[in-house]
Each structure stands twice: as C-alpha cells, then as structure tokens.
Structure 1
C-alpha cells in the first residue's frame, strides 16, 4: 500500500467515525420521547462514536488527531494538534515513476 493510499484510507475511516457519531446522536434525538430503551441504545452508541472519533490517529505523526486534555475540550479544528496536518490532506507526490 502506498503512502497516498494509506492517507486516503485513514481519512475515509475518520469520515466513517463521524458519520457513526452523527447517526447515533440523531437517532437519540428522535427516539428519546417515544422509546427510552431505544434512546438508551442510541445514547450508548453516541458515547462509543464520540470515543472512537476522538481516538482517530493522524496518518502523518500517528498521534491523536484531536487530543482531549483534562482541563478543556478542543473541538474539531480540521488540523492535527501535533503536526498541523490539515484534514483530508494527502502526502506530497514524490515524482517517482512519472515519465
């Protein structure tokens, strides 16, 4: 797998994690009054989704993309807090193989 493919796979994983979180939050919002058991399942899903989203690791530096300090919450800035890599950025082309 090339470096570019690894980045693409990582960003697709990040989008999938965010989608899972959004589905769980919306599901919770729509079921909270009608069925508390289903709403509870969606709430647990939202907590797992939030944990997985914040556990995403930067494809460049392999540190948490969104670190979660104890004293404050950083919302998604679209950049890695460790190396500054922008979300959905790909590695630069090395020029190898182009003729």
Structure 2
C-alpha cells in the first residue's frame, strides 16, 4: 500500500467516524420523546461515535487529530493539532518529480 493510499484510507475512516457520530446524535434527537429505549441506544451510539472520532490518528504524525486539553478544542478546525496537516490533504505522488 502506498503512502497516498494510506492517507486516502485514513481520511475515509475519519469521514465514516464523523458520519456515525452525526447519525447517532440525530437518532437520539428524533427519538428522545417517542421511544426511550431507542433514544438510549442512540445516546450510547453517540458516545461511542464521539470516542471513535476523538481517537482518530493523523496519517502523518500518528498523534490524535484533536487535542487532549479541552481548552484547546475547537470543533474540527481542519488541522492536526500535532503537525498541522490539513484535513483531506494527500502526500505528493512518488513519481511526480521524475522526468
């Protein structure tokens, strides 16, 4: 697997984690008044999704993409807090410099 493919897979994983979190939060919001059991399951799913989103590792520096300290968290500012890598940025092609 090339470095570029690894980055593409990592960014896809990040999008999937965010999608799961949003679906669980919306599921909780829409079911909280009608079914407490389903709302409870959606709440647990939202907590698991938030944890998974928080645990996402940067494909470049392998540190958490979001900071550890709560005072430093901005909701998804689009950069890795460790190395400054922007979201969805791919490394240059390995063969792009050769003529």
TM surpasses 0.5: yes
Q: Verify the 8 A CA contact 1:68 1:74 in the aligned structure 2.
A: no
Partner of 2:32: 32
Cα distance, 1:97–1:77 mapped onto 2, change above 3 Å:
closer
| Contact 2:24/2:46, CA 8 A, preserved across alignment | yes
Alpha-carbon contact 1:54-1:68 (below 8 Å) kept: no
How far 1:24 moved relative to its partner?
Answer: 0.1
Worse-superposed segment, 36-45 or 67-76? 67-76
Q: CA RMSD in A?
A: 1.7
Q: CA deviation at 1:72?
A: 5.1
Deviation at 1:93, TM superposition (A): 2.0
Q: Structure 1: which 5+ residue stretches go unaligned?
A: none
Aligned partners of 1:52, 1:24: CA distance in 2, in Å?
13
2:83 aligned partner: 83
Once the two structures are superposed, the pairs formed by residues 14-93 of structure 1 within 5 Å of their partners are 14-71=14-71, 73-93=73-93
Q: Structure 2: which 5+ runs fail to align? A: none
Note the C-alpha offset of 1:97: 9.0
Normalising by structure 2, report the TM-score: 0.92
TM-score for the superposition, normalised by structure 1: 0.92
Q: 1:72 and 1:97 mapped to 2: Cα distance? A: 38
Superposed displacement of residue 67, structure 1: 1.6
1:6-44 CA-partner distances (Å, limit 9, x unpaired)? 000000000000000000000000000000011000000
